[in-house]
Amino acid sequence: MAARKSRIAKSNRTRTPSRYVIPMEEAGMDDVALVGGKNASLGEMLQALTSKGIRVPSGFVVTAEAYRFFIEEAGLANFIREALEALEHGDLRQLESVSAEVRARIKSAAMPKALEQEIRAAYSSMEKKYGRNIDVAIRSSATAEDLPDASFAGEHDTYLGVRGDKDVLRSVKSCFASLFTARAINYRIDKHFDHFSVALSVAIQRMVATESGASGVMFTIDTETGFRDLVLINGSWGLGEMVVQGKVVPDEFLVAKRMIGAAPNPLISKRLGSKHEKMIYTQKGSVGPTEIVKTSPADRARFVLTDKQALQLAAWGKTIEEHYTKKRKTYSPMDIEWGLDGKTGQLFILQARPETVQVGKDRSKIKEYIRKEDGEVLAKGLSVGNKIVSGVARVIKSVEDMEDLQPGEILITEMTDPDWEPIMKKAGAIVTDKGGRTSHAAIVSRELGLTAIVGAETVTKHIKTGQMITVDTTSAEGQIFKGALRFEVREHSVAEIPATKTKMTMNLATPDTAFEKSFLPNSGVGLAREEFIIAASVGVHPLALLHYKELDPHLQRKIDERTRGWTNRKEYYIDNLAYGIAKIATAFYPKQVIVRFSDFKSNEYRSLLGGDRFEPHEENPMLGWRGAARYYDPKFKEAFALECAAMRKVREEMGLTNVVPMVPFCRTLEEGEKVLAAMSEAGLYPRLLAKSAAQKKTATPVIVMCEIPSNAILADQFLDIFDGMSIGSNDLTQLTLGLDRDSGIVNRVADENDPAVKKLIADVIKICTRRKKYVGICGQAPSDHPEFAKFLVEEGIESMSLNPDSIIKTTVAVAAVEKRLRRK
């Protein structure tokens, strides 16, 4: 703490400016912390970034030295010091009272004439350039702000749409006063900052016309897991305070950072937010002249950014991160505010600060939260953190009642703002109706180490005070369950997990968990299932989208609601399937990610919206119209073409060539050839069939599932047309032994350890090894049966793909087997 204080104090003494108000491009690192924290100069940053085409609104800075000059001239220093020293830590009512008194004295104090004249002159120069009474944004920034372990996010005030020199002067004083809001005082106490080692600078910037455009926040790191190769963008209509304060559920865009500049379109996900309201500013000219209005249905149904604009922002974010990483000589992911000018259509960077939560986390240990039972889902929203917490709910609808929260209770509220911070650390978890992953509730929850769910829409109406609930944020979609559900916490030291010759890969169905699971020791993904992506992210039968005009009006309305944000229903299916695949591929890049084409049975396809119109009723769907049999069938071939288009989008547009498609349940060689031909017709060229130079350039390896006895018996012939085999031990066992794996009566007769099953598997491994083609297994048997894992290693399997919750224990077991074999 002492070292930090001395560093700040020294920084503030290094320069005595001849002016208290300076152009932004001349501001040094002691004048303002608006864009970078330690070792960062605003002027230097502006020059570096604008030279690379990044637009930043022009303006001037009222320096931190000007703030000290104001406090000294007003004779307030001793009064403030004595008032703060008298505070009793934890007494919230006293804190609010002292805060209000200090702020009132600052606001009522006269502005020193010398400082007033400089501010008026600087604003006048802006008027000459942009017009009389130019509207400006007044942004505060503390000199201790945005240090690696303290973000001060939302602690100090910002005023938007301010016009005229009188209101500019009034807003500057209000920013000075915001250094002593109750939330800012309490935050400094918690972080052990000396109140007088912190000063406040104020940036006055030309207002970007976001009231008629859009604005939001961008992070150059995944805010929940710390995954580095990601840019997260949140946005909503109007002024950015709605996103920052968590008053709306914004749109969300994800971009693969590594692929920016290397691939045509590395946008790997976008999600439409509700955006029910927006903030605009009025024409009255008073301080902070803003109001909140409802958005139109048309605006709610469209994204605030085009794909091109999202990619432009992401590229700027990457550039800013690279600038500060080089400047600070340490990896520096950034938290950036942006605006889209509704008049010119131009994008601007408004503010940037280092991310302070994920970048400082210890990655040498991995902690897993595993829910052991299901329950009744009360609400869903966006996850913040990666935990499971059970506790008693406390619904609080007003900041005036925040003292009702008892330690460990789960805070349920519409939204939080910085005034809630003094009590947020008492909560076991936080759930809000509104907000996105870059809102105040989300940022502060991360910094406090709390788990939270934001944007849960109507949670305050469905959950009552005193109700026992469980909050689960182990995937991107957080869930609130009724009652206290059982869960397990596992902690692993990465350094203690042994390396293996056998590739230990993962089975993944949920793309939203991919970034977090990528930190587990792994060699990639041996099985990514399309079915979950289609069910969760698409939700509509592909043929219902392709034959929309033939559907009844009631079903059309349901599909219209589901496909909001897309004007082309075919693109809706392709994009959302591609986004799910791309999240997994990005998380594990450049390691191989094997993605299985859809393997829905007819009864499962029928559960999708519109599915009952296109699916047959089968007595035994497990052995019916599934897997490869669908892909070339005239009744489904056009739907399979959409899957191929999604795969092409991931590989060719997003640049994620680590994705390898896999064909499931391929009964015969002829069927395999027909599937490969159907892929070629859709423009997804199998490597072994590519002929022209253009085809070979984009061609992909294709793997086939070995899950039917015919695959094992004719393995050599299947390998003539496919690039490898992935053994599906579940289906192979039931089909070899004539078992119904869902039957509680006969499923105990045998398992994968049966000699007949093991012989088929051993033969396949030998043939693939001889042919120098990929061979892996993607069933759960290696983790359920240690002897079976030992058998696979002894036979020389190349890869085992396991569920994430068992990969560490199985890796340890496999390493032990390999060690014994080496000794022999």
Region for residue 292 given its phi and psi (left: phi exceeds 0; alpha: psi -120 to 50; beta: otherwise): beta
The answer for residues whose C-beta is within 8 angstroms of residue 225's C-beta and 6 or more apart is 358, 386, 515, 516, 518, 519
CA dist 510 and 476 (Å) reads 9
Place of tokens 């994620």: 656
Question: Tell me, what amino acid is at 238?
Answer: G
Q: How far is CA 375 from the centre of its chain?
A: 26
Cite the DSSP H helix spans in 241-283: 241-244
* Cis previous bond, 590, omega within 30: yes
The answer for residues whose C-beta is within 8 angstroms of residue 623's C-beta and 6 or more apart is none
Query: What distances in angstroms separate CA 4 from CA 39, 140, 144, 281, 401, one per listed residue?
Result: 14, 21, 9, 39, 35
CA dist 574 and 606 (Å) reads 19
Three-class secondary structure assignment of 282-336: CCCCCCCCEEEEECCHHHHCCCCCCHHHHHHHHHHHHHHHHHHHHHHCCCCCEEE
Query: What distances in angstroms separate CA 260 from CA 87, 256, 265, 653, one per listed residue?
Result: 50, 7, 8, 11
Q: Is 644 labeled as catalytic in the residue annotation? A: no
Query: What distances in angstroms separate CA 572 from CA 326, 560, 568, one per listed residue?
Result: 40, 11, 6
Quick check: 62 and 202 in contact, CB under 8 A?
A: yes
Quick check: 464 and 276 in contact, CB under 8 A?
A: no
Strand partners, 203: 61, 139
Structure-token pair, residue 73: 């001239």
Region for residue 749 given its phi and psi (left: phi exceeds 0; alpha: psi -120 to 50; beta: otherwise): alpha
Quick check: 315 and 260 in contact, CB under 8 A?
A: yes
Q: Is 617 labeled as catalytic in the residue annotation? A: no
Structure-token pair, residue 477: 């979609």
* Nearest alpha-carbon partner for 582 in 348, 817, 258: 258
Which of 440, 541, 666, 706 is the catalytic position? 440
* Nearest alpha-carbon partner for 436 in 603, 288, 251: 251
Between the CA atoms of 645, 592, 253 and 156, what dihedral angle is there, to the nearest 10 degrees?
180
DSSP 405: P
Neighbours of 665 (CB within 10 A): 24
Per-position DSSP letters for 65-131, written without gaps between them: HHHHHHHHHTT-HHHHHHHHHTPPTT-HHHHHHHHHHHHHHHHHSPPPHHHHHHHHHHHHHHHHHH-
Query: What distances in angstroms separate CA 803 from CA 517, 525, 527, one per listed residue?
Result: 10, 10, 10
Per-position DSSP letters for 432-477, written without gaps between them: ESS--TTSHHHHHHHHHT-EEEE--SSHHHH--TT-EEEEE-SSSE
Reported for 771-775, long-range contacts at CB under 8 A and 24+ positions apart, including other chains, are 771/716, 771/719, 773/719, 773/722, 773/723, 773/724, 773/725, 774/701, 774/703, 774/723, 774/724, 774/725, 774/726, 774/798, 774/799, 775/724, 775/725, 775/726, 775/727, 775/799
Quick check: 754 and 783 in contact, CB under 8 A?
A: no
Question: What residues act catalytically?
Answer: 440, 778
